[in-house]
Structure 1
Amino acid sequence: MTDSDLKKIHIVFNGQDTPPLKISQLFDANKFNRMTAVTGNITADFINQYLSRFIKVEVALSTPENHEVKTGEDVITKVALTDALLVAANKKPAKIFEALTSDNQVNVLNNLFQVAIAPTQAIHSRFYLLSNSETHDTRVILGSLNLDNDSFDSQRNQYEEILVFDNDIRLFQNLDSHYKNDIKPVLRPFFTENLLKAAQNQIDESLKDNKGATNAVVILDNEVTDQIAAADMTDLISHDIQKQIDENKIPAMITKAMRDITTNRSQDKEEAERQIQQHDTIYTLQKTAVSPRAAKPKLKSREKIFKQVQDALISGMTPQQRSAEKKYTTFLYDRPMERNLVNNNSGLYVPNDTGTHPIPFGKVATISQIRDGLKSIDAIMKGYQQYVVDYNDDYGKRFYEAILYSFTAPFLWEIRAKASLNPEDGNDIPNFLILGATAGSGKSTLLRIINQLTWNTDRSLIDFGTIYPTETPQKKAKTVDAIEHYMKLGSSYPVLMDEIEPYFFQQDQYSRHLVVDTMNELVNNPHAIAPLIGTTNYDSGFTMLRETARRTYYLQIDKVIDEQQKGEANKYIYNVRQTLNNTLFKDFVMRMASLLEDDETPWRAFDEKTGKLDFLANTRKLFRDYYQMADMEIPPYFADEICDDFKESSRNRWAKLYLTQEEDFKYRQQDHSLLFDISKLNTFNGFTADSIEKYRNALPIELCVDGINGKRGKFVEIKANEFFKWIGERNPYADEKDMDNNETITAKPAKKSSESLAREPKRGFWARLFG
């Protein structure tokens, strides 16, 4: 039996096996209009897609299981209360509320959609009660499912049991009574009064500023959600615990268990450091919330607890960390569920000028404005054309490609979801654009131009080396953590990072942590994580780990501005930048939003030469349309395909190594392979200290005998035929017939003299793509 033959989502309908039902059939809003649920998880996407049409919904969230607790008091302090405090501290209610459609946000505010948690009891129950107040039809659903799409994903390799009972009145009434009498009394709102008050205030302000509008979306800023989290955590301890003590729902001496919660504290130290710190903070909060020496300890006053909560929320961060977090200030929120093209809403939102509420971003431009925008880009390109040494149109495509990527960046996570047939495909739509450039090539200026063309400012750049001061302990790790924080603030505007240091790409603990893990997160759980557009100093030794390169779009800008014309070039580009604005970008987001809403839009376009997915194909189409509308010719620097500069750079590096040190490549006839002693790439022989890893990383695994094992150790073993095709050189160990027909390789011919080799014509390196 194969994996595909296994029935992982097992549905029993009124006692009979049934084929898998669609989620909309199971939670049938046509037949039923009310739902009560006790479930383990609920997501905003699930609510938006499947629960919006119910007129009344009540959901109780259960508690994660913890197999380490030993007593009933541990269940209250170390499971229920700790989980409730973590939910508040991590702002989960605000995040889910913000991700709801504006209509569903209103339903929550009007008490038509209620979510609750149990802060002092562990709930492991799972049941769903659907009813119709007019027809009196009922449905009971029992099983392991949650209110999220993962529970219904048959490819997730998890089993789900779903038992459905229609119009079983006795079962329905039994569970309905159990919910009302036993579960509901220990619940408290998940969407708290503090959150709903802040949301309502923002809606009122938004409607006041936009007279005639019927609704408004809520997106709360960090300062507001910080205050909500502090107030919610304070209420949990000072109000909910005391209330349930007074009502005899939990023992009065639970306060002693709270005070002793850190005694003999031992947890699995292999958990993520952040999770451990969070638990320690919550435990300390519980302990310090109780009088320290009383035989029958009591809770401190609400004011003291609130102060302790505020101190705890910032105790894990140094002033340097707080300063580093504030360096990212550009926010552009992508909300596809709010997209309404009829009303000129692209689904993108920005904070208003005062930062009190979000407003739609995007505006259709006139033909004249589009023409002006294209002329501005052309003026930029003419500057590089005039002042860059050895400029040609193929080189210019790198600058243009960077602009196309930056325009597309806010929608990359949506495009990735639409273009990916499986998670692995998602890596072909990289969330990282790196501009590898030499000093004096204009890379920082290009980053500022990108900022102006998309955000109408040049002040959003972050300098990699100054995120933390030089003397900061563990500066490298903290810098990467800060970048990850910037990318995961919920904004989809790219993080613009200047002068990324080479160690980031070459050391596994940094590039893998950020690039690989972030891409894995994106392909398995599509959501808005801001792309990163960064520059790094290119020299002949620049390299990336293979896993990083696989998930990064790398453009090489290795030609410099003419030193003798530098003053004139600076003056020219300064004048051009005075004319730049983001009018074209605002129009672009409207057109891209239209493509994303059109089910007929193709997203899987592959380049004929390389076979790679061109994730910018629709961006190219929109820009071609722009030139047609503006009655302008498509310029020669227009990028028609994805560039593959990292692979080209790697190929060039090994080609030079072979041509200059041919004698070090030893042919092994029985395996038709080349052995190379990679340890020779040392400082004694004129290489840099890290050359071994640079060359090892640049060698594709598919060229190595035994795959990854062929790259390891002192001797690298390379497939001869494939290697020579890759570097674009004739294989000296095979005659022409053998090479053409891929026949058995003959013995090595007599080695030609260097003089005769020099006389042989050589094909241009750029013309030998894949041989």
Structure 2
Amino acid sequence: MTNEPDLTKLHIVFNGQKTPPLKINQLFDSRRFNRFTAITGDIDADFINRYLSKFIQVEVVRGARPNATVKSANEVITKVALTDALLAVANKQPAKLFEALSSSNQSNVLNGLFQFEYAPVQAIYSRFYLLSNEETKDCRVILGSIDLNATSFENNANRYGEVLIFDNDRPLFNNLMDHFKRDIKPVLRPFFSDNLLKAAQKQRAESSKDEKAAGSNVVILDNDTTDEVAADDMTDIISHDVQQQIDNAIIPQDTTIAMRNITMDRSQAKEAIERDTKQHDTIYNLQKTAVSPRAAKPKIKARQKIYQQVKEALVSGMTPQQRSAEKKYTTFLYDRPMERNLVNNNSGLYVPNDAGTHPIPFGKLATISQIRDSLKSIDDVMKGYQRFVVDYTDDYGKRFYEAILYSFTAPFLWEIRTKASLNPEDGNDVPNFLILGATAGSGKSTLLRIINQLTWNTDRSLIDFGTIYPTDIAQKKNKTAEAIEHYMKEGSSYPVLLDEIEPYFFQQDQYSRHLVVDTMNELVNNPRAIAPVIGTTNYDSGFTMLRETARRTYYLQIDKVIDEKLKGEANRYIYNVRQTLNNTLFKDFVMRMAVLLEDDDTAWRSFDKKTGRLDFLANTRKLFKQYYEMAGIAIPDYFSNQICDDFKESSRSTWAKLYLTQEEDFKYRQQDNSLLFDISKLNTFNGFTADSIEKYRNALPIELCVDGINGKRGKFVEIKAPEFFQWIGERNPYEDESATNPTVENAEPAPVEKPKAKKKGFWARLFG
């Protein structure tokens, strides 16, 4: 295992002596020990795949949350153990964990070699790890403040923990093992239920009959299957496990009364987050309604009645419009790096088979002839823009090509982000959002369809932002943002293609910050496959975003229109070109990108010398240059060798035009060598739009403002004069005054990038 972190933040005591830092694979040594039994807190699939795979026998119990606080013994059962068990199943945690295991570890579970369990009616706060080897008689006991996840072992986390290791202390080992078997084992149930394992076995059996699956054994279950498994499992927990524990006198007889009364005094337990509150309310009501309502000694209802209640609860609160909105995202491409097998031409990407019953590998190397044909089809697309767009230049054409390069890279962006980031903040340099700011008639929707064809071989995956929900539905804006978030978090890494995103989405904090900023923060702190968004929006003479949103978005400006006189000819031309498009090159690309991702020598931190920005598409450019070389085609002039920075240029142009047309409104303040501008003048009375104030405020870089962010707030914006005039590319008329002003030091202003020449031209399910 390479790049193993030293456990420097853990105080490790080995047989009573402090020991130098160990690595995780030394702590859980699968070479010396071959059996592993543990009670832990959190556990993730990546940890299992990395460190437990080589044990021949594994049994792991997931314990209760350590921060749970309750008032009585019955509340431990109802409000902690049973609620957590039902929530875990309702959120499909068992299915998600099983799907994230490597195919070999999935086999270990199916064959009974690996067991994962939890206690639905007892809160287990024990934490210990037992390793043994029956042949050598070696054993190890590990006690400490660790879980089986990478978070417990992060060196950069600001927390400390202790780990006590006892090697070959047979009495201690036997004591804990006996305690596990005698006291804890009777209250456990499998975390991977029989219902889940049957579904997995069924899918494997179907895969084995499909030649396209090419011997792949990985299990990725569809939503309908996991919905059914969750409903069955929740029903079994209530109707079987609880009743069995009562019958065996493990939990008291009055547990059913506690279940019936669980919703009493609910206000004290209200959660701060609305989603968590809804989940808890649903689970509580499930417990309550599962018991006869008026009997002195209430009994649990029949299984079929509970099953119907569970099915209804899983879709509670969802209107037909919300269910319809949820199903608009239909393109599923799963990135599974652990399954990547280059020898067998497996890129690590999977798609559902035609029947949607099991996953099959995605990606296939193309012939030189196919690569040449694909490049020529893309070139035909670009020739259409060259021919029909007014004032087209090769520099402008780079925007269209950049969008294609981004779309090809999209499924791997989350992997690239982890490899290119030295710290979480760096992750924002690999944006999960590509926005095409375009004027009407620029061909932006056509470009989105072309991207869809080049990657998915269809043009029907586009989602119209404005029609995700009907116009007359209440809280349409909030629900639309929730729906997009749901699409992104389905587990697929194929981009969400959104057409005509309305400008409010980027300009109003409650939408763009929640979706763009919060999603990117989640990604950089917890890397996983979250589908990127590729969307179009109206340029409308000056597109703006909140600064935090712009920091995490790749913005390309398409502000030239197709010649109105040639529109009919242009439509016929692009229609014919689109008949030649397919995703052959994309299938080849994912194979080659997979090779780069598996190569430890691949450089992912490539910075542009002019802008200083990370070029997260650098290796994509490298692969496309190789395509042109293989095909014997010269690299076209519209091929960009660097990231475009259109948002900065758009912002500059917006303020340059404002200054040139309203110079008298910029008041010079000699004392601070600054400009004061009354931003409230940008109102509808003066010919501006209703949201112009926020548009201009967002477009003004903080570094140009006196006192930073404070210089942008309020009625008056205060701007550093020298830097502002350099930014907009105009002569500073106050330069002589500032030079003679004794209150202003003669130091040169901070260098500012020379301006570019002006271009010519959901609702989510409550569970799962």
CA contact (8 A) 1:57 1:112 kept: yes
TM-score, normalisation: structure 2:
0.95
SS in 2 for 1:299: coil
Corresponding residue for residue 675 of structure 1: 676
Instruction: Please list, as runs of the form range in 1=range in 2, the aligned pairs for 1:174-189 lying within 5 A after superposition.
Output: 174-189=175-190
Instruction: Please list, as runs of the form range in 1=range in 2, the aligned pairs for 1:679-690 lying within 5 A after superposition.
Output: 679-690=680-691
Q: 1:270 to 1:648 in 2, by over 3 A?
A: farther
TM-score, normalisation: structure 1:
0.95
Question: Are residue 642 (structure 1) and residue 643 (structure 2) matched?
Answer: yes
| 1:20 shift after superposition | 1.9
SS in 2 for 1:329: coil
Corresponding residue for residue 218 of structure 2: 217
SS in 2 for 1:77: helix
Corresponding residue for residue 492 of structure 1: 493
Range that drifts further, 398-407 or 155-164: 155-164
**CA offset digits 1:546-604 (Å, max 9, x no partner):** 10000000000011111111000000000000110000000000000000000000000
Instruction: Please list, as runs of the form range in 1=range in 2, the aligned pairs for 1:301-450 lying within 5 A after superposition.
Output: 301-450=302-451
Q: 1:701 to 1:737 in 2, by over 3 A?
A: closer
Corresponding residue for residue 3 of structure 1: none
Q: Which has the higher contact order (CA 8 A, sep 6+)?
A: 2
Q: 1:677 to 1:412 in 2, by over 3 A?
A: same
SS in 2 for 1:60: strand
Aligned partner of 2:544: which letter? T
Runs (4+) of structure 1 exceeding 6 A deviation are 736-739
CA contact (8 A) 1:435 1:536 kept: yes
CA contact (8 A) 2:649 2:755 kept: no
Question: Are residue 766 (structure 1) and residue 756 (structure 2) matched?
Answer: yes
Aligned partner of 2:172: which letter? L
Question: Are residue 287 (structure 1) and residue 288 (structure 2) matched?
Answer: yes
**CA offset digits 1:480-520 (Å, max 9, x no partner):** 00000000000000000001011100100000010001000
Corresponding residue for residue 762 of structure 2: none
SS in 2 for 1:670: coil
**CA offset digits 1:235-264 (Å, max 9, x no partner):** 000000011111110011101110111112
CA contact (8 A) 1:103 1:215 kept: no
Range that drifts further, 449-458 or 272-281: 272-281
SS in 1 for 2:134: coil
Q: Distance in 2 between matches of 1:56 and 1:47?
A: 12
Q: 1:267 to 1:643 in 2, by over 3 A?
A: farther
Q: Distance in 1 between matches of 2:737 and 2:639?
A: 38
Instruction: Please list, as runs of the form range in 1=range in 2, the aligned pairs for 1:623-634 lying within 5 A after superposition.
Output: 623-634=624-635
- Percent identity over the alignment is 78
| 1:541 shift after superposition | 3.5
**CA offset digits 1:338-367 (Å, max 9, x no partner):** 001111100000000111110000000000
SS in 1 for 2:719: strand
**CA offset digits 1:279-337 (Å, max 9, x no partner):** 01000000000001100000000011001100111112111111110111100000001
Aligned partner of 1:633: which letter? A
Q: 1:213 to 1:632 in 2, by over 3 A?
A: closer
Q: Pairwise CA RMSD of aligned residues? A: 1.9
**CA offset digits 1:126-178 (Å, max 9, x no partner):** 10000011101111100110000000012111222111111111111111111
Corresponding residue for residue 149 of structure 1: 150
SS in 2 for 1:436: strand
Question: Are residue 91 (structure 1) and residue 72 (structure 2) matched?
Answer: no
Question: Are residue 528 (structure 1) and residue 529 (structure 2) matched?
Answer: yes
| 1:735 shift after superposition | 4.7
Q: Unpaired segments of 5 or more residues in structure 2?
A: 1-6, 748-752, 760-768
Q: Distance in 2 between matches of 1:657 and 1:268?
A: 53
Q: Distance in 2 between matches of 1:272 and 1:338?
A: 36
Q: 1:413 to 1:352 in 2, by over 3 A?
A: same
Aligned partner of 1:713: which letter? G
Question: Are residue 276 (structure 1) and residue 277 (structure 2) matched?
Answer: yes
Q: Distance in 2 between matches of 1:657 and 1:372?
A: 47
CA contact (8 A) 1:554 1:645 kept: yes
SS in 2 for 1:315: coil
CA contact (8 A) 1:34 1:55 kept: yes
SS in 2 for 1:674: strand
| 1:8 shift after superposition | 3.3
Q: Distance in 1 between matches of 2:67 and 2:415?
A: 36
**CA offset digits 1:671-726 (Å, max 9, x no partner):** 22211111111122211111111111111111111111111111111111211111
Q: 1:347 to 1:211 in 2, by over 3 A?
A: closer
| 1:729 shift after superposition | 1.4
Q: Distance in 1 between matches of 2:268 and 2:469?
A: 31
Q: Unpaired segments of 5 or more residues in structure 1?
A: 1-5, 747-762
**CA offset digits 1:344-403 (Å, max 9, x no partner):** 100000000111110000000000000000000000000011001111101000000000
SS in 2 for 1:457: coil
Q: Distance in 2 between matches of 1:464 and 1:255?
A: 48
CA contact (8 A) 1:734 1:745 kept: no
SS in 1 for 2:365: coil
Q: Distance in 2 between matches of 1:717 and 1:703?
A: 9
CA contact (8 A) 2:271 2:277 kept: no
Would you say how many aligned residue pairs link Structure 1 and Structure 2? 746
Q: Distance in 1 between matches of 2:500 and 2:526?
A: 30
Range that drifts further, 310-319 or 623-632: 310-319
Q: Distance in 2 between matches of 1:153 and 1:585?
A: 36
Corresponding residue for residue 758 of structure 1: none
Instruction: Please list, as runs of the form range in 1=range in 2, the aligned pairs for 1:561-580 lying within 5 A after superposition.
Output: 561-580=562-581
Q: Distance in 2 between matches of 1:71 and 1:543?
A: 55
Q: 1:243 to 1:395 in 2, by over 3 A?
A: same
Corresponding residue for residue 73 of structure 2: 72
